[in-house]
Structure 1
Amino acid sequence: MTDPLATGRERRRTAPRRSLGDLVTGGRDPLGILDAQNAGRVPELVPLRTQRMSASPFAFYRGTAALMAADLAASPSSGILVASCGDAHVANFGFYASPQRTLVFDLNDFDEAAWAPWEWDLKRLVASVIIAGRATNRDPDVVRTTALATVRTYARSMAAGVRLSPLERYYQHFDVSRSLGDLDRRSRAVVKAVMREAQRRTGERAARKLTEVGEDGRLRFIETPPTMTHAAPEITERVEEYVDAYRRSTNVDIAVLLQQYTASDTARRVVGVGSVGTRCYVTVLQDAAGHPLILQTKEAGRSVLEEYGRQPQPDHLSAVIREGGQGARVVALQRILQGVSDPFLGHMITGRDFYFRQFRDMKVSIEVETLEDLPFRRYAQTCAAMLARAHCQSPGAAAVTAYIGSGRIIGEAILAWGEAYADLSRADYDAFVARGDGARA
């Protein structure tokens, strides 16, 4: 068996840690990449994607995981691969309900998840901290201190994680209620406010807000164009077939539970920033007594880490994709990377690849732009700790810690890269806005 510590130290010689601070910018075509992504999306929703991405430099950054993957592929890399989120910016962490109905905090978006060098996720996180910090006109020293603290927290958390057994790492998760006592007063107030909001964001409440009872007594979604419109007839006519295909991909307990529900209505729903234009639906199901359950169905394409980052995927993940499509990839990586996951995760293939999850279920994120400086730093550090926990699930975790060492050199390198990338992303944003139509399909 290869010694992972020796592997990590050897990688220092072939890929010096300071080289991770180098950003290669030659031959870029950022708007061309966005155009290519739009080509496969719902045409009438592309202008909405443009509008949302044009709102601010941070909103633009949220929609440009593909651009960053291409830039990362052109820059020096450690070459140590882990199961990666692929879009680990600060707005893609958040709160959600565990199967035990406690509130947990973790990564919450896995559309781009795949295997890639560990630092790619960390660089995306650090750059997002810098861009979000600049967008709110924070003192440059506060932004730099927060970004550096993010890297150091990741390094310390990785080192602590690999000292545990793989089984102990597997069972780790961030229980919000139990961790409140470790926070400062201002950060605790922020988390409590978000917890109150999360506890209101249930599927039952969503059903009351988003649906109405039809003449036949069944629930129907209330249209609010363009963000909520009824699905096309060719979709609604096959909903039971789609739900059945999804049900066959779930664990046996969920499959049995779903047999007690019947699909009532399906609508197309626009979500997020970068995801706008991909095919996303919500379906309300009801049991015999009329109780609702809302499922979200989201289109899954190739991970940007593979498509634009040019990262070959391991055989085991390629086999998952061949059998279950890209939706199966999203589900598999989500289950690896999260401490606890939605038990309703599933997938299907029907011309396009999709994955399923519960709608809402206490899902909520912190608006980082609204945080004061100290809670902003605490939040960034918490995201870094969660990212490290996720990366620690991979067999290469010990090699990562050996490569990082004390964290000083890595901290300086990734901070430099993040600042340079924030400048580059701002230039891309200015070019995007100046073009007027954003990205032409």
Structure 2
Amino acid sequence: MSLVNKPKYAVLHSVESFKDPRPSIKKRMADGRALRKVVSFAQQGIYTPPQDRISPVAILEQQAKQRITSLIPIRYERMLQSPFAFYRGGAAIMAQDLANQPTTNITVQLCGDMHVSNFGLFGTAEHRLVFGINDFDETLPGSWEWDIKRLVASAVIACESMGGEQNLSKKLVYRIASEYQKRMEQYAKMPYLDLAQVFIAEKDIRRHFSKEHQKKLDVYLKETKGQGNIQVLENLTTLVGKNRKIINKPPLIEHFKKDAYGASLISVIDKALLNYSSTLLADRQILFQRYALKDFARKVVGVGSVGTNCMVLYFEGDSENDPLFLQYKEAQKSVLTPYLGESMYRDMGRRVVAGQRLLQGAPDIFLNYGAVQFDIDRSQGFYLRQLRDMKGGIAIGPGGVSLKNFPDYARLFGWALALGHARSGDAAMIAGYCGQSNALTEALYAFARSYAKQNQLDFEVFCKAVKNGKLPVASRKVALSR
């Protein structure tokens, strides 16, 4: 169901109305097929830029006004590394372009920043390892095409950035799109309770990998399973006297007494934690209250998030052998907001958490939101989650996704996106529209190829602005160190 716009099949509100059945699966699939006359597959394959398209540099400069000024050069240097790195940081740039394309208006909860590096492994509340989408800062309800078009375009751009041939990029898009079609058809006919309990488990991941890539997959799985609070304790902290403290690695990890606006950080965190814990479920609230805050530091993460207020918070239970690390992330308005409207949630942290729960289905036990009110004119929405508890992101390039194993991952990307959309939208209508033929797949590849060219042009404009000194950049060594 849409959280902003009323969908075709709205949730029923009165007790009496619960007795009325939804239209049948068959009827909803037929309605989806009928939408091909409204938006044809051929139209889905055409990229049409807006007539008054805003310059990518202007969009980045506008975003920078809402971020920590000293970190903006790090963001730009990270985006400068390749057309794909630029694409990752440019969700706001593509948002205006997606808003100009025809859509079926079948509403789902959009990830909002869907690309091939926005997937990974994570542990469920029961500590089962599953695969799925892993970043939701831009989530907002909208038509399903927005996500899949950004995803397939990212596959082409990433492939080209790594030196891949055109036939490989085509293969990637076909695998993503065909898996999306296949899984959506499956979920359309699945009982709702069964769908709510579907996850892409470790055995499912293994089945998608060829034998020659199994060893590399095993290493990745083992590393992810080994990611826990004790490992973070060893890597991120050191003894200072008798107490453990987070290690300073400026400018990427730093201790500060005041935030960018001059407010006391300890006061901000104190208010944030009170707000956060007050809305936790009772069992998790009791668990969280057993931990004491020992240290905190600002930690620069990602590409698109650089410049927002991100921190790591270090807690201890009865001893340092019982550590808990939470990541604090500032939540701003989604880059999709100018085109899809305001979220139903006033607090942007709540928007992110609600979207993650809809799309992912199994967030960690400490995922929750809050807001800090500084004064009548300024507040900050945020969310907290565990830092690295059985979490493993997908890196594109050395040590991660290579040109050889990219096709193995591609099907998983399409599958995970279909699962998120089916959880939050009408799988039957989407399945009816998509069908199972290659016609939609071919159209999505055509769109991806066209948008890859647009991204290359934007990247060149960005590089020129950097070279001319219009956009400041940090040194490569500083920006890319971890």
Please give the TM-score of this superposition, normalised by the length of structure 2.
Answer: 0.86
Q: Offset at 1:176?
A: 1.4
Matched, 1:175 2:197: no
**TM-fit CA distance, 1:35:** 1.0
Deviation larger for 400-409 or 221-230: 400-409
1:230 to 242, 255, 258: 255
Moved over 3 A (4+): 370-374, 437-441
Relative to structure 2, which stretch is displaced further, 168-177 or 1-10?
1-10
Q: Output the amino acid matched with 1:74.
A: N
Report the number of matched residues: 431
Residue 274 of structure 1 deviates from its aligned partner by 0.9
Asked if residue 368 in structure 1 is aligned to residue 390 in structure 2, the reply is no
What is the match of residue 40 of structure 1?
Answer: 66
What is the SS of the residue equivalent to 1:90? coil
In structure 1, what residue type is equivalent to 2:256? A
Structure 1 position 359 matched with structure 2 position 384: no
In 2, are the aligned partners of 1:279 and 1:299 still within 8 Å (CA)? Answer: yes
1:28 corresponds to 2:49: no
Q: What CA distance in whole angstroms lies between the structure 2 residues aligned with 1:162 and 1:231? A: 50
Contact preservation (8 Å) 2:106, 2:425: no
Which position in structure 1 is the counterpart of 2:271? 241
Matched, 1:332 2:354: yes
3-state DSSP of counterpart to 2:314: strand
Alpha carbons 1:236, 1:265 under 8 Å: kept = no
CA shift for structure 1 position 298: 0.2
Quick check: 1:433 aligned with 2:463?
yes
Gap change, CA 1:358 and 1:51, over 3 Å in 2: same
Q: Deviations over 1:131-157 (max 9, x none)?
A: 111111112111112212211111111
User: How far apart are the structure 2 equivalents of 1:224 and 1:164?
Assistant: 49
8 Å contact 1:133–1:369 — kept in the other structure?
no
Equivalent residue, structure 1, for 2:331 = 300
- Aligned counterpart, 2:11: none
Moved more, 369-378 or 109-118: 369-378
In structure 1, C-alpha distance between the alignment counterparts of 2:386 and 2:229, rounded to whole Å? 8
Check the 8 A contact 2:57/2:465 in 1, yes or no.
no
Tell me the SS of whatever aligns to 1:74: coil
**Cross-structure match for 1:410:** 440
Instruction: Output the CA distance in 2 between the equivalents of 1:223 and 1:438.
Output: 30
Counterpart check, 1:50 vs 2:76: yes
Residue identity opposite 1:9 in structure 2: R
Matching residue's letter, 1:66: A
Of 218, 223, 246 in structure 1, the residue corresponding to residue 243 of structure 2 is 218
Q: Structure 2: how far apart are the matches of 1:288 and 1:355? A: 25
- Quote the residue 2:341 is aligned against: 312
In structure 2, C-alpha distance between the alignment counterparts of 1:260 and 1:209, rounded to whole Å? 23
What is the DSSP-based 3-state SS (H/G/I as helix, E as strand, rest coil) of the residue aligned with 1:304? coil
Deviation readout 1:382-416 (Å, 9 max, x if unpaired): 11101101111124221111111224221111111
Measured on the aligned residues, the alpha-carbon RMSD in Å equals 1.8
CA contact (8 A) 1:106 1:339 kept: no
Offset of residue 372 of structure 1: 4.6
CA deviation vs aligned residue, 1:282-335 (integer Å, no higher than 9, x gap): 11011232321111010111112223xx1136xxx60xx12xx01001111111
What displacement does 1:380 show? Answer: 1.1
Distance apart, 1:363 and its partner CA: 1.6
Instruction: In structure 2, give the amino acid aligned to 1:326.
Output: M
Q: Distance in 1 between matches of 2:34 and 2:146?
A: 19
* 1:382 matched to 2:412: yes
Name the structure 2 match of 1:98. Answer: 124
In structure 1, the residue corresponding to 2:441 is in which secondary structure? helix
Distance in 2 separating the partners of 1:84 and 1:374: 29
SS at match of 1:225: coil
Q: Structure 2: which amino acid aligns with 1:390?
A: G
SS of alignment partner, residue 273 of structure 2: helix
Aligned-pair identity in percent equals: 33
Kept in 2: contact 1:239–1:263 (CA 8 A): no
Structure with more helix by fraction = 1
Match for residue 72 of structure 1 among 92, 98, 101: 98
Does residue 399 in structure 1 map to residue 446 in structure 2?
A: no
Secondary structure of 2:131's partner? strand
Whole-angstrom distance in 2 between the partners of 1:272 and 1:374: 25
Q: Which amino acid aligns with 1:311?
A: L
CA separation of 1:439 and 1:343: change in aligned 2, threshold 3 A: farther
Question: Is residue 135 from structure 1 mapped to residue 161 from structure 2 by the alignment?
Answer: yes
Q: Which aligned pairs between 1:157-306 and structure 2 lie closer than 5 A?
A: 157-177=183-203, 179-181=205-207, 183-215=209-241, 217-233=242-258, 234-290=264-320, 291-306=322-337
Q: Report the more deviating stretch, 172-181 or 52-61.
A: 172-181
Q: Secondary structure at the match of 1:337?
A: helix
Query: Aligned partners of 1:393, 1:358: CA distance in 2, in Å?
Result: 23
Give the secondary-structure state (helix, strand or coil) at the position aligned to 2:327: strand
Ranges in structure 2 where 5+ consecutive residues have no aligned partner: 1-21, 259-263, 373-378, 474-482
- Which whole-Å CA distance do the structure 2 matches of 1:438 and 1:252 have between them? 51
Partners in 1 of 2:203 and 2:239 — Cα distance?
A: 37
| CA separation of 1:160 and 1:15: change in aligned 2, threshold 3 A | same
Contact kept? 1:82, 1:395, Cα under 8 Å: yes
SS in 2 for 1:120: helix
CA contact (8 A) 2:208 2:412 kept: no
Q: SS where residue 393 of structure 2 aligns?
A: coil
Residue 336 of structure 1 aligns with an amino acid whose one-letter code is: L
Give the Å deviation of 1:231.
3.0
Q: Using the alignment, how far apart are the partners of 2:42 and 2:48 within structure 1?
A: 14
Bigger shift: residues 427-436 or 234-243: 234-243
**Helix, strand or coil: the match of 1:48?**
helix
1:145 is aligned to 2:171:
yes
Residue number in structure 2 paired with 1:421? 451
Separation in structure 1 between the aligned mates of residue 193 and residue 86 of structure 2, nearest angstrom: 39
